[in-house]
Structure 1
Amino acid sequence: MPLNLHLGTDDLTRCRFAISPLCQTHEALRLLRRPARHGYHRAWLRRTRRTVAGLDLAPLWLFIPRAGGYTPDFLGAPPEEPYPSFEDELARMRATDPALAHAEMARSLACTPGLADSPQGRAALDDPAGTVRRLADLTERAWHALLAPDWPRHRAVLEADIAHRSRQTADGGLDALLTGLHPGIHWADDTLTLRMYGELAQAQGADGRGVLLMPSVFVWPDVVSGFARPWQPTVIYPARGMGRFHAAPVPPPPDALARLLGVGRAAVLAGLIAPASTTELARRHALAPSSVSAHLSVLREAGLVESRRQGYYVLYRRTGLGDALVDRG
């Protein structure tokens, strides 16, 4: 049965985007627990297999059902700010009300018959405040081991998705935005319908606070929503470009584009499916970093790429004009 979010005027005027490193961490953990969702992420899974084996994540696995089901919302709560730091989100998780934590953990454990009455389940529910602290500690370890080293690239992909959808909204309004989020999301008659959604028992309906839209690298092929009160209604959807985030092969540039820009410059532009650094592009295209830097300089002057510093890295991504040029080939 689908999940329907009926959006009033207040909801529509308060729709917003956010990027949450905490939510990304727990979506990555959910991916590890559910092999059917591995798809696009096999390269990442191979690369992190040894790291995952060195982490004792059993207390977290207790609340991430392998066969699907509810994961406590406080583990990856919708952020209050558009671009929170992981540290701020983790502090908010540590401050979870024990009564709320108990209710959400009980709901999660109930998804697996007998788990709530197991020694591990009873221990978790008997001391919800202590369980929150332990889960926060494990989440912090998982973040630093699995996501933090690649976070600049992850964030760049998510920001590129938001930039693309912001352009969609500017060109075609909210209708263009909401109809283009995901094939499993339908927008009509002021209702946002998640067709393949199954966890409906305590799903939060729209309530005038707007809908929070969050792109994710790890959520594919699902769309996640239905946060219960007190959390803001949220839709987490696969980010544009995430399918090739870990892919090694580089697509050849279209012939017409190569004739227009030159083979090397066209290859760099066409290869920017996801944001990347000069060093990464040089390795990907078997070019000298100086050559890639020269190509990027020309492409940026032409308005086809833009750059943004992320920590120690400068990441490049295509602009809307660059996307249109590559798509037209």
Structure 2
Amino acid sequence: MPLSFHLGTDDLTRCRFAISPLCQIHEALRLLRRPGRHGYHQGWLRRARRTVAGLGLDPLLMFIPPPGGYTPDFLGAPPPEPYPSFEDELARMRATDPVLAHAEMARSLACTPGLAESPQGRAALDDPAAAVRHLAELTERAWHALLAADWARHRAVLEADIAHRSRQAADGGLDALLTDLHPGIGWTDRTLTLSMYGEVAEAQRADGRGVLLMPSVFVWPDVVSGFARPWQPTVIYPARGMGRLHDTGVPRPSQGLARLLGHQRAAVLTGLTAPASTTELAARHGLAPSTVSAHLSVLREAGLLTSRRRGHFVLYGRTGLGDAVVNGG
């Protein structure tokens, strides 16, 4: 039987979204470990493989087993707040109860015959507190080497997914939201069903806290769940737009849109398949940054774009109206 969550009244009122940078870096490492699931991230993977080779991440990768295995939940635990920083999540990871860490690491190591009896496996289980500290250090190393520089763009894609799905819920209620998350997720009779999962005895059940929904850039084509106690029931699904995050090609605007907006402005709008900064757009379209900035201001005033500051950059992304204009709907 597939894994399912039957949502009671309290659950229905407490479903929520979150973005977890800690979850994203571990999903990125999982992607590197799983051949044949790389379609949307070939360029990133080529760069990441060269980088990972020199990071000494084997003690961390030991707990990210092949498909069908179990990764300790504390490596990417569901966050209690919607938009935690990586630093806050890493601090929570470092504070993991050693008893919980031992149980989750033992379950993970058991997925690979002989790994629990290996010197590395025994060392982790003999001193789980030290193992947690070491895994946190390696996670921090991986974050800064693989994802930190691009996090603003990744987060913008995840935020755009949440904004889109929030509009779905506003327009059509929870049914409209939950039936469109992923082809492998079913929603009927107050039951959320993950057809790609078999029944997991240890999985946390809906218990009045609702289900946490987390978009991910790296989880495609899967859906991830199965968090055990004490974690909140969670579903991690592929984010809309994640396939275009690493695109290098520039899509061409339709002739009708170019006539309506002018070719440059239409090209800027059409090219925003994923959120980007003025500098990125100027390089992509061969335009002066001041020209791009002027086009972005007009498009934003027309309600076709939204802007969000991320550190030193302002990232621009299409609104629902902008998507409709580009797609002719």
Q: Fold conserved (TM > 0.5)?
A: yes
Map 1:110-259 → 2, pairs under 5 A: 110-198=110-198, 200-259=200-259
SS at match of 1:54: coil
Shift of 1:21: 0.6
Shift of 1:40: 0.5
Q: Which residue of 1 aligns with 2:57?
A: 57
1:309 aligns with 2:309: yes
CA distance in 1, matches of 2:251, 2:20: 30
Taking structure 1 as the reference length, the TM-score comes to 0.98
SS at match of 1:55: coil
Q: Which residue of 1 aligns with 2:268?
A: 268
Task: Check conservation: 1:245, 1:274, Cα contact below 8 A.
Answer: yes
CA distance in 2, matches of 1:85, 1:328: 37
Q: Residue by residue, what CA displacement relative to the aligned partner does 1:232-290 show, whole Å, maximum 9, x if unpaired? A: 00000011000110011121112221111111111111111110001111111222222
* Farther-moved stretch of structure 1 (283-292 vs 317-326): 283-292
Q: Which residue of 2 aligns with 1:41?
A: 41
Gapped regions of structure 1 (runs ≥ 5): none
The CA RMSD over aligned residues, in Å, is 1.1
Q: Which residue of 1 aligns with 2:32?
A: 32
Gapped regions of structure 2 (runs ≥ 5): none
Shift of 1:201: 3.1
* Farther-moved stretch of structure 1 (199-208 vs 298-307): 199-208
CA distance in 1, matches of 2:115, 2:96: 23
CA distance in 2, matches of 1:242, 1:79: 21
Identity, % of aligned positions:
83
Task: Check conservation: 1:70, 1:199, Cα contact below 8 A.
Answer: no
Q: Which residue of 2 aligns with 1:82?
A: 82
Shift of 1:199: 6.5
Q: Which residue of 2 aligns with 1:21?
A: 21
Shift of 1:50: 2.5
CA distance in 2, matches of 1:74, 1:312: 31
Q: Residue by residue, what CA displacement relative to the aligned partner does 1:209-234 show, whole Å, maximum 9, x if unpaired? A: 00000001111111001100000000
Map 1:265-304 → 2, pairs under 5 A: 265-304=265-304
* Farther-moved stretch of structure 1 (48-57 vs 241-250): 48-57
Shift of 1:63: 0.6
Shift of 1:68: 3.8
CA distance in 2, matches of 1:45, 1:199: 32
Taking structure 2 as the reference length, the TM-score comes to 0.98
Which one-letter code corresponds to 2:226 in the other structure? G
Shift of 1:39: 1.3
Which one-letter code corresponds to 2:74 in the other structure? F
CA distance in 2, matches of 1:132, 1:255: 56
Which one-letter code corresponds to 1:79 in the other structure? P
SS at match of 2:78: coil
State how many pairs are aligned. 329
Q: Residue by residue, what CA displacement relative to the aligned partner does 1:16-72 show, whole Å, maximum 9, x if unpaired? A: 000111111111111111122211111111222322122000101111113441000
Moved over 2 A (4+): 47-50
Task: Check conservation: 2:241, 2:273, Cα contact below 8 A.
Answer: yes
Shift of 1:186: 0.8
